[in-house]
Amino acid sequence: MIMIMIMIMIMIKLYTPDFPKMMRLCETNFAQLCRLLTPINQVGETVAHQVYGASYLLTIQEVPRYTTLVEITQTAHVASCGSVFQSADLSFQSAL
């Protein structure tokens, strides 16, 4: 019985966050989002982008110290199976 418990404990690996890897991912995402926001830098300004047929609107919501709050809204979907979808008002906010 003890041997089985030891084997189970060895097989279960506890989650340990990789902080340096997470920071690299955040920095990469930040750099890529900054490239999309290049033409705008003031609160309320927007820029539109089209990716593989889907349209997105990026709007700067807030610019506090050391961060930027950006709203990303999908304004048009890619046509699928011969049909065209209307805007679904999908949006989320990302703090930079």
Q: Which pLDDT tens digits describe the chain residue by residue (96 residues)?
A: 676 766 666 666 677 889 999 999 989 988 888 888 888 888 999 999 998 889 999 999 998 887 888 999 999 877 665 444 444 444 444 454
Print the domain residue range for 81.
Answer: 41-96
Q: What is the pLDDT of residue 93?
A: 47
Strand 46-51 relative to strand 54-62: parallel, antiparallel, unpaired?
A: antiparallel
Q: Is residue 23 part of a domain?
A: no
Strand order in the sheet with 46-51: 46-51, 54-62, 69-76, 90-95
> Which residue, 68, 61, 69, 67, is CA-closest to 43?
61
- pTM recorded for the entire structure: 0.59
Q: Is residue 12 part of a domain?
A: no
Whether the CB-CB separation of 61 and 87 falls below 8 Å is answered with no
Q: Is residue 65 part of a domain?
A: yes
| Helix, strand and coil percent figures for the chain, each rounded to 5 | 30, 30, 40
Q: Is residue 52 part of a domain?
A: yes
Q: What is the pLDDT of residue 71?
A: 93
CA angle 65, 66, 67 (to 5 degrees): 95
Whether the CB-CB separation of 95 and 67 falls below 8 Å is answered with yes
